Structure 1
Amino acid sequence: MNLRTTASKIAPCGCRHLIRRRFASTVSTGLLKELESRGFVAATTSPSLTKQLDGSSTGVYVGFDPSANSLHVGNLLPLLCLLHFKQAGHHALALIGGATGFIGDPSGRSTERKALDPDQLAHNVQGITYQVNRFFERGQAYASKHRRGQTDRGKLDILNNLDWTGQITLLDFLKGVGKRSKVNAMLARDSVKNRLSSEQGISFTEFSYQLLQAHDYKILNDRYNCKLQLGGSDQWGNIVSGIDMIRRMKNAEQENSTGDETGIDTDPHRLKEELAFGLTIPLLTTSSGEKFGKSAGNAVWLDEKMTSVFDFYQYFLRSTDADVPKLLRLFTFLSLEEIEQVVQEHERNPADRLGQRRLAAEVTELVHGAENLAKAQTATSVLFDSDLSRLQPEDVLTAFEGDKRLVKIGNDNLGQPLSRLAVQVKLVNSRGEANRAMASGGFYMNGKKVTDSQTCLREDDLIAGKFCVLGIGKSEKKILFVQ
């Protein structure tokens, strides 16, 4: 592709050096080509990024806003993109916004963020730090499984920008970052312009957010040789601010070394070498145009205490046929050739939902590990499959540990009417409700309809002599486990 679109209009006062153009990726070899083929690349700040990445190891960073104590499915794209870079031998830098979390990024928002108290913010930072570290541990194992013979050559650092931002005084920040930040360029950012034209407006606090993020990029550039920032498409302005900040401050350092004590950048093009780059990831939507990562209007969290592994698995299992190819490319490490094979097999018999099953299995293993994937698959079989004979009782117990749908009963319940058992395990409120469900064909045991209100639980009804599944309709289920 050779499309080019202007990132922003020419800034006023003739400040043409503030302009950046978005370059759609035009690479033909290397890591960037694969990322583009998988759908990770919306735009890059320079076509020279390919040369940078094909050379020596480069620091690559992604920032995470600690507005909650867990990341969600929408955060998987930048995490996965960073994992691709780490697998290719680059230095992955996951930056948690312990400082910027106090401010709030105005990008993509029409109203001011609610400020978090320090204790909640610290709790969120701790939770996300743990989660990112666990993601890369499991992600390394998952990626190595699909890329046999390729070792994970890159390093990982999980950082908190409060560690350096919390140490700088306001006067020092204004003297350093503030002196080299042009207000006209800041006003031109989409995140600011959109808020300025709204009734809500924008506070100075959120207006200054882009300076803090630019300062982060400069710190990472100095300390970790970080030359690439990844972010969603709405982060373009913030990324460009960081690139400009790095260039301006490097120019100022050069001027100071030659005896100019002003510290003011007079020629932003003095350094011809490109010091930093940006890559934006597309906003992911479903085939229906909805924002990806919501289930029944709620976020799908990566923390299993907030979104169970079963519900996480089910979210991807419910993907539409149209979305499966795109999601397999983005959310798995299957080769593009294997993905094509899966898609072709899926299209031969869409009713079997092979594509969705493979997608759900791959992503759940990546995020939650192989053991939790097995639990999710067992729970899915128990609740939705009609043939339960292949299931092992111990697997069922493990899959539903702590789940209210699992009810342990004694042997003395054998011979009891199912209508009475349904009340006992709180599947229904009364025997009359159970009998009415039977009469209407809506009462099930082990996936088969029960229409006779006199039916009792027999030992032959127990799978492997240990459990059975009672259901009302398609969604209300109870697993009865005989001890």
Structure 2
Amino acid sequence: MWSTRHLGQRVRVLVYHKRHYRAPPPLLEDLTQRGFIQDVTRPDAFENALATKVQTIYAGVDPTAKSLHIGHLIPLMCLLHFQIRGHRIIPLIGGATGRVGDPSGRLVERQLADVKQVEDNVVNLTSSIQAFFKRAYLYAGSHVSLDSNVKPEPVVRSNLDWHGSFTLLDFLQAVGVHARVNTMLNRESVRARLTSQQGLSFTEFTYQLLQAYDFYYLHKHFGCSIQVGGSDQWGNIVAGLELIGKMDPSHPNQGPSNASGVYGFTTPLLTTSTGEKFGKSAGNAVWLDSSLTSIFDFYQYFLKVTDTDVGKYLRMFTFMSIKEINELVQEHMKEPEKRRAQLRLAAEVTEMVHLKQGVKQAETMTKLMFGSDYLDLKASDVISSFKGDPRLVICSTKDITGIPVTKLAATYGLVSSNSVSRTLVASRGLYLNNQAIQDAQYKITPSNLLDNKFVILRAGKDKMLILLASN
């Protein structure tokens, strides 16, 4: 077992940044510097394997939801770092194991998943993962010199493909015969549950064998040599290495410490400076799917991270160099109120997930929501940014200029009634193009139209309405 140790200078790739190329550290060292490495088996042999031969690595995704959320970014970024350096990657969805439930890191048993829901989630997650890597690969190309032979969209697999036809008797004969119960009982995830009030079901107890067989199957059929998972997956990863050592003829009777050619490593559990699990906000996940979490809200999540967390997130979720990140954080701390580091983090991660167009959209919406100068806003950018958003309303120029602002605000849902509008005007809380309305009977004039096409009404700090003239 190993954590954060100096590694020799071996693998080199050219990375383009600010008009010059730089050679980053070897892959394992780079992942360590970025905070991805907690434990790894046989680090010296692992480093040598990465330097001398193309490897295949896999990471598992539980089909507990229909889309990826930002908590998935950690294993996905690990795979992406391997992919851009020419290694092969296998994102694996637990179409079979998702029906069982992993006891790792849990004090109570998961409720058994609905089979139809798991199947639907596998289909949706497959599309989500492919879309992520396609976009993230483009993003990485803005920082790293990419191999033109690497396919940006990996083949996503489901372990139901092999577990689905594996009968219980076959599984016991092929896998169960190699499992020692005393070893399985000593896994941390098992020990923790055995001492809990609820205990551990046989279904969950066998989970480690199912995942171990995943590693063996991928190793045998696809040449997979590496598994990465969260820190709570260490026992399952070791179980896979042990099973390969026992079932693969090329590793006869070998355990995880000396099985040749196969490796595993874990990433730390990422929490915020307040102790919350990364990706959770008041119990709500931040999704990578813009139909579940808007691009604006996705951008805002990273824009609002604390000064304590921003450096850590820049290292893990961007391809900026460590040197540039350190310089940016140092500059940021001189004037933290300007949030330079958070602005860069939000832009980088949003570009990776939603492309440059998504960054432009999020920045335009942020400017509209929180900016003070609207004069240079273009109608085309506003329309693109708020497409499908209920805050963008198309109406006639006659209505925009012929009805008092207070009535417009009530008619189009910015406030609940005309009386609320008038109360806001009295307290200087109703704004037209960021200027407080002082007359409840004021009507918009053509000179108020931004880019000659739209106006922005705001109630208080956060509620906004954009009225776009249709003619």
The TM-score normalised by the length of structure 1 is 0.89
Query: How far is the alpha carbon of 1:273 from its aligned partner?
Result: 4.7
Identity of aligned residues (%): 46
Q: Please say if residues 7 and 29 of structure 2, whose CA atoms lie closer than 8 Å, have aligned partners that are also in contact.
A: yes
Identify the residue that residue 17 of structure 1 maps to in structure 2.
none
Query: How far is the alpha carbon of 1:237 from its aligned partner?
Result: 0.7
Pick from 27, 50, 59 the counterpart of residue 31 of structure 1: 27
Identify the residue that residue 137 of structure 1 maps to in structure 2.
134
Query: How far is the alpha carbon of 1:366 from its aligned partner?
Result: 0.4
- SS of the residue 1:146 aligns to: coil
Structure 1 Cα separation of the partners of residues 291 and 281 of structure 2: 16
Q: Does 1:401 align with 2:399?
A: no
In structure 1, stretches of 5+ residues that fail to align are: 1-20, 256-266
Identify the residue that residue 181 of structure 1 maps to in structure 2.
179
Q: Please say if residues 420 and 431 of structure 1, whose CA atoms lie closer than 8 Å, have aligned partners that are also in contact.
A: yes
Q: Does 1:243 align with 2:241?
A: yes
Q: Please say if residues 251 and 259 of structure 2, whose CA atoms lie closer than 8 Å, have aligned partners that are also in contact.
A: no
Q: Which moved more, 1:421-430 or 1:451-460?
A: 451-460
Compute the RMSD of aligned alpha carbons: 1.9
Q: Amino acid of the residue matched to residue 43 of structure 1?
A: D
Identify the residue that residue 107 of structure 1 maps to in structure 2.
104
Structure 1 Cα separation of the partners of residues 283 and 429 of structure 2: 28
Q: Please say if residues 104 and 209 of structure 1, whose CA atoms lie closer than 8 Å, have aligned partners that are also in contact.
A: yes
Query: How far is the alpha carbon of 1:154 from its aligned partner?
Result: 7.0
Structure 1's consecutive aligned runs of 4 or more residues displaced over 6 angstroms after TM superposition are none
Q: Which moved more, 1:340-349 or 1:123-132?
A: 340-349
Across the two proteins, how many residue pairs are aligned to each other?
451
Structure 1 Cα separation of the partners of residues 136 and 420 of structure 2: 48
Identify the residue that residue 443 of structure 1 maps to in structure 2.
430
Identify the residue that residue 368 of structure 2 maps to in structure 1.
382
Identify the residue that residue 196 of structure 2 maps to in structure 1.
198
Q: Please say if residues 87 and 151 of structure 1, whose CA atoms lie closer than 8 Å, have aligned partners that are also in contact.
A: no
Query: How far is the alpha carbon of 1:152 from its aligned partner?
Result: 6.4
Q: Does 1:307 align with 2:293?
A: yes
Structure 2 Cα separation of the partners of residues 273 and 230 of structure 1: 17
Matches within 5 A, 1:48-87: 48-87=45-84
Structure 1 Cα separation of the partners of residues 455 and 8 of structure 2: 56
- SS of the residue 1:330 aligns to: helix
Structure 2 Cα separation of the partners of residues 55 and 160 of structure 1: 29
Structure 2 Cα separation of the partners of residues 270 and 314 of structure 1: 43
In structure 2, stretches of 5+ residues that fail to align are: 10-25
Structure 2 Cα separation of the partners of residues 120 and 269 of structure 1: 37
Q: Alpha carbons of 1:363 and 1:438: their partners in 2 closer, same or farther (altered >3 Å)?
A: same
CA deviation string 1:11-42 (max 9, x = no partner): xxxxxxxxxx4554442331111111111111
CA deviation string 1:183-207 (max 9, x = no partner): 1111111211111111111111111
Structure 1 Cα separation of the partners of residues 422 and 257 of structure 2: 82
Q: Does 1:41 align with 2:27?
A: no
Structure 1 Cα separation of the partners of residues 143 and 2 of structure 2: 33
- SS of the residue 2:36 aligns to: coil
Query: How far is the alpha carbon of 1:416 from its aligned partner?
Result: 2.1
Query: How far is the alpha carbon of 1:441 from its aligned partner?
Result: 2.5
Q: Alpha carbons of 1:271 and 1:415: their partners in 2 closer, same or farther (altered >3 Å)?
A: closer
- SS of the residue 1:95 aligns to: strand
Q: Please say if residues 88 and 152 of structure 1, whose CA atoms lie closer than 8 Å, have aligned partners that are also in contact.
A: no
Query: How far is the alpha carbon of 1:107 from its aligned partner?
Result: 1.0
Matches within 5 A, 1:113-192: 113-148=110-145, 151=148, 153=150, 156-192=154-190
Matches within 5 A, 1:87-98: 87-98=84-95
Query: How far is the alpha carbon of 1:153 from its aligned partner?
Result: 4.1
Query: How far is the alpha carbon of 1:159 from its aligned partner?
Result: 1.0
